[in-house]
Each structure stands twice: as C-alpha cells, then as structure tokens.
Chain A
Amino acid sequence: MIYPRIITIIAYRDLQRFWKYKWWLAGLVAMNLADLFIFALIFRGIVRRDIVPDYFYFLAPGIASISAFAAAFTIGREVMMELRRAFHHYLLSLPFSRLELVAGRVVSGIVRGFIYQIPFIILLIVIAKTPSFLDLLIVVSTTIMVTASMSSLSIAISTLVKSLEFQATIRSLVYFIIFFMSNVFYPESIVRLRFPEIIYIMVVNNPISIATTIYRDIFTPHVIHETYSIEVLIAKLAIWTAILVATGSILYMRNLQR
C-alpha cells in the first residue's frame, strides 16, 4: 500500500532542500533568461529565416522544457549526497516503505521541475499565446512526464557507480548529451542535413525534443515547418517515462537494499 501523504512529505522535504542551491539556481535562472532575451534576440537577426522564421519564438518553448529538465535532474544529486553520507540508512529506518521513498523521490523531481518551469510557461503565455484548456492539460501532462523521466534517469545514474566523482561526471555528461542532442536550439531538419540518420533519430526521440515539440506546437506553431501528431508525441513520451521511471526505481531500490 502506498500512502500519498508520505510521498507528499518526502517531496516537500526535497523541495525545501531545492532552495539551498542558490548559486546553481541563480545561474540557471540567469542562463535561461539570458538565452532567451540576449542570445535568442540577437540570433534572431543572423539565423536564416527560411530555416527558422523567428528564432526568439523558436527558442522560447525549448527554454521551458530545458528548465523543467534541469530542475528535475537535480534530484539525482540529492540521492548521491545521501548515499555519500549514508543518510539513506536513516531514511530507511523511518516508518514508510521503500517503494514510498522511491515514489517520493520521483515526485520530488516532478515538483522541482514544475515549480521552476511555471514562470517560463507564464512567459510563453505572455509572449506567445494563451492555450486552450485542452492544450493546457497537454502542457501539464508533458511537464509531468518529462520531469518524471528525467528525475528517474538522474536517480538511476546516481546509483549506478560507486565512485561519487565518477557519478557526478557521468550525470553531467548525460545532462550535456541530452541538452545538446535535442531540438531545443536547432530544428530537426538541420540535424538530418548535418548528421547521419541515427543521430537524427536520437535527437527526434530525445524526451526533451519531444517535450519541446509539444510546447512549440501549442505555443509557437508558426516557427516550425514540420507537422507532428501530438498523440504520437505524447505516446512516445509516455513510453520514455514508463521505461525510465521503472529503471530508476529498480536501481534506487537495489541500492537502498545493499
């Protein structure tokens, strides 16, 4: 039996710890805003209009998905620090099941991603368009899926190897690969033009690319040339979420029981 109240308590505790990383948060907020209001605005003038009609509106939905991804990914760091300090023994002694603890951590990732992303979604509504109720539901479910999958991935990495430095390096590397091998900064057509088909397939099926495409389709459809089926994109993201949440949970449980 899983009690939602316990999961809420774990997620709330993790949320309080989230505000501890002031440098990281300040840097991330500054980077996301600078990417949009400096980088994208200037790039708008030098990017070929036949490829991207308006780079500012092209990048804005990408920033929203990157922000959720980055915030959700921090949960892996928490797990790593707990294992380093053997704090997980204390957590295991508390009156809740391991499954509840694992579920609480994934929910923590979702909450962090959500809270951090909200201002960027509001920004999209202000600068682009107000979505319909159905579109808003799609946005919320996309965010839930992308944050759940990315927090699970981050947890999985944090439990894979013993060396903590190595863990941090791998987590950063995976973060960079997901970040750059996505369609956040460039349209998929350019990836196909420049790289082999396999890379294109990887980029298109990257959960961050899928989420970005959904946000673009809802908020700034005029900046994309390709046509997408939202149902297919949601299904793809749901598959990613199921796989990554299952993998992350199994690995975390295994590590807790060692």
Chain B
Amino acid sequence: MDIREDIRALLLVILWDIRKLGRYKFFLAMRFAWFLLQVLVFGLLVAKMVSIRGPLGVIDYYKFYIIGAYVAVLFSMSMLRGHEIVEELEDGLIDYQLSLPIKRRILAIGRALGGGIASFIYSIPMMIVIVLILGVNSISAVLAIALFSLIFASSLVGLAMSIALIIRSSDRLDILMGISDSLLVRLSTVFYPIIALSSIAIYYYIAKINPVSYLTDMIRYIATPEDVSGITVSDPHIMVVFLVGFAIASMLSALLLLDKRIEGGYSR
C-alpha cells in the first residue's frame, strides 16, 4: 500500500467515528444542560464566595472557572470513548476492523483521531458559550483554543483506548473510569489555580503533572492572558510541549497496544 492508500484508510477510520455523532443527541443535550447549569448557576454563585489573588491582583474567578468547566466536559466526553472501545471489543467490532485491509497503526491513529474529533465536535456548543462569555474576539485565539482542545481530546481517546485494551473488562474499566473522572478533574487546575493547591503537597504535585491542568491553563492563557499571568501550572511554551508530548505518547501507546495486545481476542 502506498502513502495515498494509507491516508485514504486513515480518513475512512476517522469518518467512521465521526458518523456516530448522530446517535448521541440526548447525551449531548444532557451534557450541554449540565454545562449551562455549571456556568450560569454554580459558577456565578461560587465566584461571589471566592477570593484569589494572583501576582497582578485579584483574579476574576468566574472567568477562571468557566474555562475549567469546559475542559471538565471535554475530558469526560473523551474518556467515555474507552467504554465504547470495550463495547466494540465485546461486540466483535474491533475484530471486524482488524480484518479490514487497513494497517493496524493506521487503525489505532484513526480511531484516536476520529474519537478525538467526535468528542471535540460534541464540545463545540460549550466552547462557543465560553468564547462568548469571555468576549474572545480574536479568530486566532478561538482557533488556538479549538486546536489545543482537539489535540487534548485525541490524546485522551488514545489513552482511554490504551487503558481499555490493557484492562479488557467492562466492569473493571467502568470502575477505573468512574474514579479517574472524579479524581483527575479535582486534582487539576479546573476549579482552582495551582497556587491554591500548594497547601497540600500531594495534590499540588499531582496537579503539576496532570494533563487536565495543562489544557485548562493553556486555554486560560489564550483567552484571558491578563487574568492568569503568573498563576498557570507552567510557562506557556512548556504547556504547549507538554500537551503535544502527551498527545504523541498516548497515540504511541494506543498504537503499540492495538498491535500487540489485541491478539487472542476479547475475554471477560
């Protein structure tokens, strides 16, 4: 197969994931409602109670929080793909895909990218809400937020895929996902700046290496640079390197695992 065939196969796999979007209308409506309540009720009320000072003065917590709420939604929608993969393993769909004349690495990358794009498409209404509330009027800033969100969603789908392929049990995966969803969001800078976490060392160091913190603070840096100066998890250049590195690592792990561990079929 030449490179053109590989690209065609990659596009087909990506499209297959995107075409499933229509099935989740009610799921999307539910997530959107949850997000709106977070932004219009929880965020507004909590912002009245919270007082945080950064190096440049008092931080507008409402602006700070709504970006975190968006990343939390994107995170949980992307991780949900892990469940889909296990369901597909159970239904024999992955076996069918492996029988297709598509290279395994193309299949792995395609599924991660397709899942990432689908999760990102789900999150677009929420992204529009935060862009409007924050008054981001630069097209390049909106595109940068979209790009980083897409990279992050694809990384998470790759990671969820890897975990699903290692665990190969819907029950165990259910428990792991349920716990990680709750812990990773709270042990990140979604709700609070990294300086607020410094009072509890273990939480601080987990948040420092948590990819959720990096995307959240990266979007904050792009959307409201004046508000987050000096309180992000790291320097913007390091955040970019971290997010890209995380994407490459999760894609590679999905690729290796799909290649090696898929043999032998699915077992409970």
Contacts and interface: CB of A to CB of B under 8 A. Distances in A.
Interface of A: 22-28, 30-31, 34-35, 38-39, 41-43, 45-48, 51-52, 165-166, 168-169, 172-173, 176-177, 180-181, 185-187, 190-191, 193-195
A169 B37 contact: no
Contacts of B183: 30, 34, 38
Nearest to A25: B178
Contacts, number: 106
Interface in B182-209: 182-183, 186-187, 191-192, 196-197, 199-200, 203
A43 B45 contact: no
Given A45-B199, A190-B45, A38 B175 contact: no
A242 B106 CA distance: 60
B33 A176 contact: yes
B21 to A, nearest CB: 15
Given A42-B191, A46-B52, A185 B45 contact: yes
Given A46-B51, A186-B46, A30 B179 contact: yes
B182 A34 contact: yes
Interface of B: 25-26, 29-30, 33-34, 37-38, 41-42, 44-46, 48-52, 171, 174-175, 177-179, 181-183, 186-187, 191-192, 196-197, 199-200, 203
Contact of B44 (A26, A30, A177, A194): A194
B174 A185 contact: no
Contact of B33 (A30, A172, A194): A172
Contacts of A187: 49
A30 B26 contact: no
Contacts of B44: 194-195
15 contacts: A22-B175, A22-B178, A26-B174, A30-B178, A31-B182, A34-B187, A39-B191, A41-B200, A42-B197, A46-B196, A48-B51, A169-B29, A176-B34, A177-B37, A180-B38
Contacts of A23: 171, 174-175, 177-178
B72 to A, nearest CB: 12
Nearest to A41: B200
Nearest to B171: A22
Contacts of B46: 185-186
A173 B33 contact: yes
> Among the interface residues B26, B41, B51, which one has the most CB atoms of the partner chain A within 10 A?
B41
Contacts of A185: 42, 45-46
Contact of B203 (A38, A46, A177, A195): A38
Contact of A35 (B49, B174, B186): B186
A51 B50 CA distance: 9
Nearest to B45: A186
A26 B200 contact: no
A43 B26 contact: no
Nearest to B52: A46
A46 B26 contact: no
A27 B186 CA distance: 13
Contact of B186 (A24, A34, A52, A195): A34
A186 B49 contact: yes
Given A38-B183, A173-B33, 19 more contacts: A22-B175, A22-B178, A23-B178, A26-B174, A26-B179, A28-B178, A30-B179, A39-B186, A42-B203, A43-B191, A168-B26, A172-B34, A181-B41, A186-B45, A186-B46, A187-B49, A190-B48, A194-B44, A194-B45
A26 B174 CA distance: 8
Query: Which 4 interchain pairs have the tightest Cβ spacing?
Result: A27-B178, A23-B174, A30-B182, A26-B178
Contacts of B26: 165-166, 168-169
A128 B23 CA distance: 47
Nearest to B179: A30
A166 B29 CA distance: 10
Contacts of B38: 180
A222 B245 CA distance: 48
Given A26-B179, A180-B42, A42 B33 contact: no
A182 to B, nearest CB: 10
A172 B30 contact: yes
Contacts of B41: 180-181
A51 B49 CA distance: 7
A194 B29 contact: no
Nearest to A171: B30
B186 A38 contact: yes
> Among the interface residues B30, B34, B52, B187, which one has the most CB atoms of the partner chain A within 10 A?
B30
Contacts of B52: 46
A190 B49 contact: yes
A232 to B, nearest CB: 24
Given A31-B182, A34-B182, A180-B37, A26 B49 contact: no
A189 to B, nearest CB: 10
